[in-house]
């Protein structure tokens, strides 16, 4: 059969060269071709050999003719492999492939192919290709005229290049394999890019939809002319619906603010929706604002998130979400936390700040002194007279009431300063602002109150004061000690007055 095909091809070539139309017509006739095939088959059955001298025949040239035709169509390299002996011949028309210096002929194709794979196949594909090139697998896959193929990456000029290997057995020559390798790099990379784009689109769609679910209204705004489209999410179809369109987002937003934003938050909202301000803010990232909107005539906490689109520099998106439940929960937690902190720093009996709170305050004052951030304040130390006597004679309940009445006296005098209870009958206050400027008057007022309360059941509170001296006092304790000395002096004087 191979002889017959070769003979026909040579006859056709000669007819074309000599422009013999009659011969070409005969050679292209189905009846002539079939008759010639039948004659050949008969000669083969009779073991009749065609003498090469009588018929120009060269089996190797026939193979070359077949291979060359195939190469011209699809492949840049092909191998003709004898599956009985494993002998092979390689043919190529690709300079890049020739540069790999792969043997074009040999006595063991399958062994050579696996050796070559270690050198010329992209490293991540070597194990795969080695498995796919095993003789048993190829023969099994190509039996009954089936075609065996797979795709892998070849290193051409040290560049990873996708190629496709295809193996098949000739129907009229089943003991031989034709293995062809074609360059499919552009095709595969286009397919990979397409799959990547599809995956990205699906991913972006899912992300966009999940983001949309968090917002009840979204504005798509043209940066250049302020035109906008207002969208809302359709819960049933999970798609965006157009609510309205407008020509000036910034103007319309400010007008709507007067109707839909809680009055106390209107100025904040309008200032945030100033065109120049908003555009400058979103240049560096996402801008957020929390405010209260009237929904069904009830104030509801909402937030808008505004950002420029990376893929569309001419627009920005502003999305509004309802955060009322979350915000109210957070506010409640903050109030409870503040109350808890306040209780932890408050004296339960008098309501004054406690010793723990004073220690924190002292650290803060000391830091300010070290950084020269303070130039004037005064420390007042108060001590309740006769508390021990009351506890011993009337009991601790009476003593507690006496302490509370003393606290009322101090609060009525030092109205604008924090009072700390640092001991059972000892209190401290640090005066600044108006209390500092009026410190002498306040001390005189306390002295007058003490004099009135003597020889009554009302509390008498001894008091001492000292001013902070810059560049002399380095810590609060320095001022405290002088105030404490002044307090003991006042305590002694009050006792002497009460004894008269």
Q: Which two tokens stand for residue 168?
A: 């098949």
Q: What would the pLDDT profile of 83-110 be if each residue is shown by its tens digit?
A: 999 998 887 765 555 554 555 788 999 9
Q: What would the pLDDT profile of 285-306 be if each residue is shown by its tens digit?
A: 889 999 999 888 899 998 888 8
Q: What would the pLDDT profile of 17-34 be if each residue is shown by its tens digit?
A: 777 676 666 666 655 555
d(CA 225, CA 271) in angstroms, rounded, equals 20
CATH of 345-499, one of 3.40.50.300, 3.40.50.1000, 3.40.50.2300, 3.30.70.270: 3.30.70.270
Q: What is the pLDDT of residue 142?
A: 87
Q: What is the pLDDT of residue 339?
A: 66
* CATH dotted code for 213-327: 3.30.450
d(CA 267, CA 270) in angstroms, rounded, equals 5
CA dihedral 94→98→102→107, nearest 10 degrees, is 70
The pTM is what?
A: 0.39
In the chain, ranges of CATH 3.30.450.20 domains: 61-188
Q: Which CATH class is domain 61-188?
A: alpha beta
Report the SS3 class of residue 479: helix
In this structure, are residues 23 and 11 in contact, taking their beta carbons and an 8 Å threshold?
A: yes
* Exposure of 463 in the CB half-sphere (CA atoms within 13 A): 29
Q: What is the pLDDT of residue 48?
A: 42
In the chain, ranges of CATH 3.30.70.270 domains: 345-499
Region 45-64 average pLDDT = 46
β strands within 357-406, DSSP E: 378-384
Q: What would the pLDDT profile of 126-145 be if each residue is shown by its tens digit?
A: 999 999 999 999 999 988 77
Backbone angles phi, psi at 266, to 5 degrees: -65, -45
Q: What would the pLDDT profile of 150-207 be if each residue is shown by its tens digit?
A: 999 988 888 899 999 989 887 777 788 888 888 888 888 888 877 776 555 544 444 3
Q: What would the pLDDT profile of 237-286 be if each residue is shown by its tens digit?
A: 555 677 888 999 999 999 998 888 999 999 999 999 999 999 999 888 88
Sign of CA dihedral 240, 244, 248, 249: negative
């Amino acid at each position: 059969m191979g002889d017959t095909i070769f003979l026909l091809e040579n006859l056709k070539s000669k007819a074309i060269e000599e422009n013999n139309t009659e011969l070409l017509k005969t050679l292209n006739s189905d009846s002539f071709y079939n008759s010639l095939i039948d004659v050949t088959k008969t000669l083969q059955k009779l073991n009749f050999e065609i003498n090469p001298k009588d018929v120009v025949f060269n089996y190797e040239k026939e193979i070359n003719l077949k291979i060359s035709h195939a190469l011209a169509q699809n492949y840049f390299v092909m191998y003709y492999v004898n599956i009985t002996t494993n002998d092979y011949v390689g043919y190529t028309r690709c300079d890049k492939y020739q540069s790999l210096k792969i043997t074009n002929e040999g006595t063991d194709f399958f062994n050579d192919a696996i050796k070559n794979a270690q050198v010329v196949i992209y490293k991540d594909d070597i194990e795969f290709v080695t498995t796919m090139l095993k003789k048993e697998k190829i023969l099994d896959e190509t039996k009954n005229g089936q075609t065996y193929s797979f795709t892998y990456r070849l290193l051409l000029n040290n560049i990873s290049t996708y190629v496709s290997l295809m193996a098949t057995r000739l129907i009229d020559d089943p003991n031989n394999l034709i293995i062809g390798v074609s360059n499919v790099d552009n095709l595969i990379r286009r397919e990979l890019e397409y799959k990547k784009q599809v995956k990205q689109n699906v991913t972006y769609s899912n992300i966009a939809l999940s983001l949309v679910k968090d917002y009840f209204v979204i504005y798509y705004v043209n940066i250049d002319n302020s035109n906008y489209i207002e969208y809302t999410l359709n819960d049933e179809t999970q798609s965006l619906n157009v609510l309205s369109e407008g020509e000036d987002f910034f103007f319309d937003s400010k007008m709507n603010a007067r109707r839909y934003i809680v009055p106390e938050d209107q100025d904040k909202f309008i200032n945030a929706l100033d065109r120049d301000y908003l555009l400058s803010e979103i240049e560096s990232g996402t801008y957020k604002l929390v405010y209260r909107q009237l929904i069904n005539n009830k104030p509801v906490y909402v937030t808008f998130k505004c950002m420029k689109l990376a893929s569309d520099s001419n627009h920005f998106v502003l999305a509004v979400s309802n955060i009322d439940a979350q915000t109210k929960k957070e506010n409640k937690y903050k109030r409870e936390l503040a109350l808890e902190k306040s209780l932890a720093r408050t004296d339960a009996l008098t309501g004054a700040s406690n010793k723990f709170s004073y220690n924190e305050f002292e650290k803060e004052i000391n830091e300010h002194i070290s950084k020269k951030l303070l130039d004037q304040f005064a420390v007042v130390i108060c001590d309740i007279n006769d508390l021990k006597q009351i506890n011993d004679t009337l009991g601790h309940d009476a003593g507690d009431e006496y302490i509370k009445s003393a606290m009322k006296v101090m609060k009525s005098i030092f109205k604008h300063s924090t009072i700390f209870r640092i001991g059972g009958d000892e209190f401290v206050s640090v005066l600044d602002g108006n209390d500092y400027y009026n410190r002498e008057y306040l001390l005189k007022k306390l002295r007058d109150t003490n004099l009135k309360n003597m020889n009554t059941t009302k509390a008498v509170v001894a008091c001492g004061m000292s001013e902070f001296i810059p560049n002399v006092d380095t810590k609060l304790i320095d001022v405290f000690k002088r105030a404490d000395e002044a307090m003991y002096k006042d305590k002694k004087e009050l006792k002497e007055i009460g004894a008269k």
